[in-house]
Amino acid sequence: MAYKIAVLPGDGVGREVIAEAVKVLKALKLKGSQEFIFTECLVGGAAIDEVGVPLPPETLETCLNSDAILFGAVGGPKWSNVAYHLRPEKALLDIRQTLGLYANLRPVKVYPALVDASPLKREIVEGVDILVVRELTGGIYFGNPRGIEKVDEEERGLNTLVYTASEIRRIVKLAFEIARNRRKILTSVDKANVLETMQLWRRIVTEVARDYPDVTVEHLYVDNCAMQLIRSPKQFDVIVTENMFGDILSDEAAMLTGSIGMLPSASIGGKVGFYEPIHGSAPDIAGKNKANPLAAIASAALMLRYSLNLESEATRIERAILTALEKGYRTPDIAQEGTRILGTQEMGDVIAENLA
């Protein structure tokens, strides 16, 4: 069996970390005649420079005809002044919407070897294991009307936060199913005290909860959740929230682990799953062999689990990451006293070697 993987490195460190994820996947010994077929495609700023648009039709066609997508990062100062519809980030939004990827899963796990790499105290972060379930194709990122217009000789920016009951229900049901198979604790995050959209969100969560009596449900306002993630993160198991809140909260939660370079993600719900590190293109360190590839490699493991049903292979990669950290290997962002600092490529080599 051949698994077709669309590889979209993108911009900045995206190219470096995805190269290491592909290296690790190639190091896996699949069973029998199973193999990976990788097809690299242009996306983001690299695509703008090459063909003038952030998401070429050929790239989207390859994604639609693949079993999974492995994505790096897009964007950078070079493209900061282009029109909105040509921004590198627009490619990411269009892929999510076209493929129907309504659910973004962002695991936030503090590895025992990295407890002291976190900026928070050991007793606060030790044992943290959270899954953020973020709605991905609705909310203010996609709502209309939107834009910048002139009203009475003054410019006005406009964005619309909108959700239908069915959009809320499908992401909430998925979060309940996931929570049922974890510690059975679900935290729904909203801003129902001031936003009508979030009042509907809370009502739908309450309705769906009746079908999951074994799951404990808590409602938190987003500002309180942001505080609680720092004050007492171990209280959380599964967090479900809307698009923008999930974007912000998961980046905040990343720092519990010691670095945003540690967080993978899986975007699912459509025919083809989409897997990416959440750290962005980091242009300040691009090309310097300093980027942490562990989030990209862990995203490849999520790809094996959710899209290809290769659970044992996914577990092998995750164990290889754990082994590297236990042996004291670090990239600069998670370096500690007495550890051995490696570059991007060298860390990828270590993970590949640990698979053996």
Of the candidates 113, 122, 126, which has an alpha carbon nearest to the alpha carbon of residue 336?
A: 113
Three-state DSSP at 104 gives strand
Catalytic residue among 11, 67, 247, 333: 247
Catalytic residue among 102, 191, 237, 306: 191
Three-state DSSP at 148 gives strand
Catalytic residue among 102, 141, 306, 329: 141
**260-305 pLDDT tens trace:** 899 999 999 998 999 999 999 999 999 999 999 999 999 999 999 9
Q: At what angle do helices 196-209 and 165-180 cross, to 10 degrees?
A: 40
- How far is CA 123 from its chain centroid? 26
Instruction: Give me the percent of the chain exceeding a pLDDT of 70.
Output: 100
CATH 3.40.630.40 for domain 1-101+258-356: no
329 is catalytic: no
**184-212 pLDDT tens trace:** 999 999 999 999 999 999 999 999 999 99
Catalytic residue among 26, 116, 121, 223: 223
Of the candidates 16, 69, 72, 19, which has an alpha carbon nearest to the alpha carbon of residue 47?
A: 72
**235-249 pLDDT tens trace:** 999 999 999 999 999
251 is catalytic: yes
**82-103 pLDDT tens trace:** 888 899 999 998 999 899 999 9
The answer to whether residues 184 and 218 touch, using CB atoms and an 8 Å cutoff, is no
What average pLDDT does the segment 59-85 reach? 95
247 is catalytic: yes
Fold of the 119-257 domain: Isopropylmalate Dehydrogenase (3.40.718)
Residue extent(s) of CATH 3.40.718.10 domains in the chain: 1-101+258-356, 119-257
DSSP 224: H
Strands 129-135 and 103-109, by their bridges, are antiparallel
Rounded CA-CA distance 82/88 in Å is 9
Catalytic residue among 23, 129, 184, 251: 251
Phi, psi of 104 (to 5 degrees): -110, 120
